[in-house]
Structure 1
């Protein structure tokens, strides 16, 4: 039995890309270990079990306190500590894995070194291209060059959309595969009901569950919904820098609901009970022009109209397929977009049909799982 270690710089509680890859590999007969970074508490390491749909993976978490959204400089010291512990673990356990599958640059640098030293296969999975997703200042050219060297040395490089080929132009991957971060499950009939009992059936429910940072227009949506209490509700889940602010606003406004951190099944349940989904990213940030938001994939799977900023991610797909609306990344653009999509309520059912067809034809996890199985099979040759 081949043994794989998946590495991510968050606690994987949850982390859909890691969990879906792990489940697919377990189902294919691999022994899987996951390594994550718990940023909430300080401890050396904890071992536990990650329960998945088709089996279990061992998970090792390193506890090093840090802040989500604090940026490269704000988290540099904790990051270096995480990488040191990761390096030690990969060395001490080099007989317990055959393949290293590292997610993003902050794990890949150490993983690439270990793969070469211990003669292991190495997969570099790029969810966010580091040089374009962090404020690196004068260090950007150096980090980008280093990142390209990791890509060039990896046995396989995974990008999350075909668009990202442009983003890594200049690198020379040995093998390049696009794996979209699309959901691998439907909302089951037995899924827990998450939607607040205080929610009003007649109001339009906007939902966002994810990392709670300032660049996603969460504050602007709260302000807009707060000014229109008779028509809209905003349902928010997740974690990040804005947690305290959102909790305060949920106390202040009766039509703003905050659920905190949610398991993925509960995330899908909440989104399924709402009407409109948002995936708003500032196009000034280079990485956002190529972003592949979970919210997009969840929306097309669930059949929910989606609001996305112009010049980001899948804005062209939304317009071409008429499955939502794209807006300028501004308060005025946001408010106009929500109002316009609300006025098209009689079209939502048709949008849902187009979204489901698009999901099944191009983006279903069934398609992505086959790509993962194929690339792993090719590694064994």
Structure 2
């Protein structure tokens, strides 16, 4: 099996990278990450020895500083490819997201370095910008895909052109239970995991938590607004942890009766969200709670693996506060686990769709 290099403006704490690295390690496939060490927290995570960081620090907070760091990362990646193109021509290079893939695309005419483009979110749809600029970026993105060896998507609704060598690897987790799932008691507690920000419905969750002090909440992730963090942690029904390795995170939320996966519908990319939280919930046998504007809410409701509430806190959230919701949660969670075992295990998708295609 050929070696793989991953290139991403992130570090080894990234959940999806951790899943890839675990599978590659199990299969004894050589791999390396060329990335951006956003914080010292990444040193606590597995596979740190496989990372080579092109830039360090400044991964969160001030927007101007972030922009400068992105420019620094991109410039260093460009220099890395130019200096090492002969070494990496015979390696499977996975460029994650637009910022990284653009560098491979621009340098390919003279370096001849092939690349696999993994698209988590469309760059043009991820930010508010003038429509003419959005169209230009989408055209550039289409050319990047056209020149890629394969294009990996995190959801089938992200495929814009079926002419490419498309691979779908959903944002699902490795099985925490290793195939030995057991039903367990659920508590009247909800989980909020990942990026904790205003664009992920956190203000609505805060209002719900304040109105229902008997309902508990476990928050695990990074707050981008420190004053908002203080509003949460001072509540008696809130338990908060910073980023945790995925296995530890799952252990903390095993007995929750719901996982929130809310997205501000004002941003186009959010309506196409392929949230890993949906698949985390399915794997754990816990229902996912999303808002109806998100495209995969139709899948969630039709498969009866979760439910929807309005993005802004209102009476649609009422059923979540009832003690009877625990029984509803058990039924929906069982449906989700059954579907996960049938179709969505990450390890199987990587083995069948990626590793079997590349020998």
Give me the TM-score of the superposition, normalised by structure 1. Answer: 0.82
User: Given that residues 187 and 265 in structure 1 are in contact (C-alpha distance below 8 angstroms), is that contact kept between their aligned partners in structure 2?
Assistant: no
Q: Does 1:77 align with 2:68?
A: yes
Q: 1:325 and 1:49, CA in 2 relative to 1: closer, same or farther beyond 3 A?
A: closer
Give the SS at the match of 1:106: helix
Out of 91, 94, 102, the residue aligned to residue 82 of structure 2 is: 91
1:358 match: secondary structure = helix
Question: Contact between 1:69 and 1:240, CA under 8 Å: does it hold in 2?
Answer: no
User: Post-superposition shift, 1:74?
Assistant: 7.0
In the alignment, is the contact (CA less than 8 A) between 2:287 and 2:305 conserved in 1? yes
Offset of 1:202 from its aligned partner?
9.3
Partner of 1:148: 142
1:195 match: none
Q: Is 1:292–2:274 an aligned residue pair?
A: yes
1:94-148 per-position Cα deviation (integer Å, ceiling 9, x unaligned): 3443221011101111122344433232100001111111223352222111111
Aligned counterpart, 1:301: 283
| Distance in 2 of aligned mates of 1:243 and 1:187 | 34
**2:239 is equivalent to residue 257 of structure 1:** yes
- Give the structure-2-normalised TM-score: 0.87
Q: 2:327, 2:20 → 1: CA distance? A: 38
The RMSD of aligned alpha carbons is 2.8
Gaps of 5+ in 1: 189-200
| Conserved? CA contact 2:10–2:35, under 8 Å | yes
Kindly indicate whether residue 166 of structure 2 is the aligned counterpart of residue 183 of structure 1. Answer: no
1:270 aligns with 2:252: yes
Q: Select 1:371's aligned residue among 339, 353, 356.
A: 353
Q: CA 1:116/1:27 → structure 2, altered by over 3 Å: closer, same or farther? A: farther
State the 4+ residue runs in structure 1 displaced beyond 6 angstroms: none
Cα distance per residue 1:2-21 (max 9 Å; x no partner): 222101111221x1222222
Is this contact kept in 2: 1:105–1:126, CA < 8 A? yes
Over 3 Å counting, the alpha-carbon distance change for 1:267 and 1:173 in structure 2 is farther
Aligned residues: 348
Task: Determine the C-alpha separation between the residues in 1 that align with 2:319 and 2:123.
Answer: 31
Residues 311 and 30 (structure 1), Cα distance of their counterparts in 2 relative to 1, 3 Å cut:
same
Residue by residue over 1:17-38, the C-alpha shift from the partner in whole angstroms, topping out at 9 and shown as x without a partner, is 2222233334444321101212
User: For residues 32 and 336 of structure 2, what CA distance do their matches in structure 1 show?
Assistant: 35
- CA gap 1:202/1:294 in 2 versus in 1, 3 angstroms: closer
Aligned to 1:105: 98
**How far does residue 353 in structure 1 lie from its aligned partner after superposition?**
2.0
Match of 1:280 among 262, 265, 273: 262
Show the counterpart of 1:8.
Answer: 8
Distance between the aligned counterparts of 1:256 and 1:58, measured in 2? Answer: 36
